[in-house]
Amino acid sequence: MEKIRYKEIVDKNAPKSVRFKNGVRAFLIGGFVGMLGDFLMQLYAYLFHIPTKEASVFMIITLIFFGCLFTALGFFDNFVKYAKAGLIIPITGFAHATMSATLEYAREGLVTGIGANMLKLSGSVIIFGVISAYFFGLVRLIFFGG
């Protein structure tokens, strides 16, 4: 059988995609995480009398901490499975990806296991985040003078 005809059979039997439902769910939960972040930011700014710019750093640390803690406690993967992009796109997704890789390789030792593998999933985010920040900064410098 030609590959194209075989692919037709495969496509015919493919499960129906539930993108709309997943999209709505991710939108709502992602939005809630954003709201939570903003709430924390305002709370820290109010409690510690600091500008919101500094409070946002504490907010990010809080979200990362709980993303990591819940991953290590073993139930955050179920949350992510349910919320999908709603928890993957916010900083919680980065924390979850890093922590889950860390747990995975803990048996292989500190250097050859955790150190070498903890950024297995999230390493690309850092690399391409830094590269795009560099280009974005360059564009800003050239067109808007920094």
Partner 1 sequence: MTIKYDNVYLNETATITGPIEAKGPLGNLFDKSYDSFYIESKSWEQSEIHLLEKSVEVLLGKIKKSRFDIDLHISGELLNQLVATNYAGSRLGIPLLGIYSACATSTEGLIIGANMISAKQVNNCICSASSHNNGAEKQFRYPVEYGGPKPDTASFTTTGSASAFLSKNKKGIKIESGTIGIAVDMGLKDANNMGAIMAAAAGDTIYRHLSDTKREVNYYDLILTGDLGKYGKQILIDYMRIEYGIILNNYNDTGTMIYDLENQDVHAGGSGPACAPLVTYSFIFNKMKNKELTKVLLVATGSLQSVVTVNQKMTIPSIAHAVSLEALS
User: Which chain residues interact with partner 1 by CB under 8 A?
Assistant: 1, 3, 5-7, 9-10, 12-15, 22, 71, 74, 76-81, 84, 87-88, 96-97, 99-101, 103-104, 107, 120-121
Query: What is the nearest approach in angstroms of partner 1 to the Cβ of residue 33?
Result: 15
For partner 1, which is the closer residue by CB, 2 or 143? 2
For partner 1, which is the closer residue by CB, 51 or 74? 74
Task: Tell me the two tokens of residue 111.
Answer: 């250097």
Query: What is the nearest approach in angstroms of partner 1 to the Cβ of residue 40?
Result: 23
For partner 1, which is the closer residue by CB, 47 or 106? 106
Query: What is the nearest approach in angstroms of partner 1 to the Cβ of residue 67?
Result: 11
Query: What is the nearest approach in angstroms of partner 1 to the Cβ of residue 118?
Result: 10
Q: How far apart are the first and last CA of the chain?
A: 60
Q: Would you call 14 helix, strand, or coil by DSSP?
A: coil
Sequence-distant (≥ 6) Cβ neighbours of residue 105 within 8 angstroms? 113, 114, 116, 117, 118, 120
Dihedral angle at the C-alpha atoms of 129, 135, 137, 143, nearest 10 degrees? Answer: -150
* Chain centroid offset of residue 96 CA: 7
